[in-house]
Amino acid sequence: MRIDRRAMSSGLAAVVAAPFAARSQTPWPAAGSTIRIVVPFPPAGATDIIARVVGDKLARLWNANVLIDNKAGGGANIGGEFVARAAPDGSTFVMTAPFMALNNYLYKSLSYDPDTDFSHVSLVALVPNMLVAGKHLGVSTVSELIARAKANPGKLTFASSGVGTSIHLAGELFKAMTGTDMTHVPYRGSALAIQDIIGGRVDVMFDNISSSIEQVRAGQLVGVAITTAKRSSLAPELPPIADTVPGYDVSSWFGFSAPAKTPAAIVDKFGADVKTALADPDVRKKLEALAAEPVGSTPAEFTAFIKKESAQWGKLITERHITAE
């Protein structure tokens, strides 16, 4: 029998190389490693809390350390740029929120590109906003608010937690869809705005539901409606604005994104592990206490979601000449 020495050599080389190749493909994340999740907002807000709740579960799933790193400021641009410039090696991610879909329209120039500098991992949760009114206004339904606004163009005021936030844009969308004119009053966060509505200095706000639900239940604010197309389990007594204004649907949302060029295997595993984390009863309970609806999506689904959000809100921002500068 004749032996082909070249084929034999190639076969031996493959046998020798196979274990080496297996060893070189280190599982991600390595046990005991540290994964940084940048939150581009201050501690104790919804973005920060959701990142910590889910991050804690992921740390246990991975047997790794998950570091929540708050890099607030610049309308989330400081944290966004940090992650956009980070090494795409699976060590750094960002807790994504609506800024990812909005900031290209709100700012004349950015030091990073939200459209090309990220690989999106998973949509984690949706949080409805709630239309609340001061008791001084004397309205309790969407129809009454629309009638009052049309009878007094430009005189009613709506507060927000800042220019370009979902709270602000929810109000702008309401104006656009109802043909009303209300004056926007931006604040640095919701807390001061709520106090001014209670005090009768501002009229309404499309606030994050978890920020103002207690004041509604205490009788300090009037809960008028919910901004999502369906009722919220946290406040099932409130009708959707869409019952009066068909097609109106606004949510705050949160997810994970990675620097662009992060290996697809890492992005896919992270996305799958987010789904596992969100299936945990304790995680779901903690998120639902924030009125956050757990979602979990594939990277492709989350990418498509952000593109849809960007198209919808970009059109509104452009038409209404809204700027954060």
Distance between CA atoms of residues 149 and 130, nearest Å: 18
Query: Do 108 and 134 reside in the same domain of the chain?
Result: no
**pLDDT (tens digit, 9 = 90+) per residue, 70-100?**
998 888 999 999 999 999 999 999 999 999 9
Distance between CA atoms of residues 202 and 209, nearest Å: 18
**Does residue 8 lie within any of the structural domains?**
no
Distance between CA atoms of residues 223 and 215, nearest Å: 9
Distance between CA atoms of residues 26 and 161, nearest Å: 44
The parent domain of residue 204 ranges over: 128-243
Query: Do 233 and 146 reside in the same domain of the chain?
Result: yes
Give the pLDDT score at 103: 94
**Does residue 102 lie within any of the structural domains?**
yes
Helices (H) and strands (E) in the chain, counts: 11, 10
More confident residue, 248 or 213: 248
Domain count, the chain: 2
Query: Do 120 and 59 reside in the same domain of the chain?
Result: yes
Give the pLDDT score at 9: 45
Query: Do 239 and 132 reside in the same domain of the chain?
Result: yes
For residue 155, what is the domain's CATH number? Answer: 3.40.190.10
**pLDDT (tens digit, 9 = 90+) per residue, 160-183?**
988 888 889 999 999 999 999 999
Centroid of chain to Cα 302: 11
* Residues 79 and 284: beta-carbon distance below 8 Å: no
Q: Is the peptide bond before 236 cis (omega within 30 degrees of 0)?
A: no
**Does residue 23 lie within any of the structural domains?**
no
Q: Say if residue 151 is exposed, middle or buried (CB neighbours under 10 Å; 0-12, 13-18, 19+).
A: exposed
End residue of a domain, out of 243, 260, 277? 243
- Does residue 14 have a pLDDT over 80? no
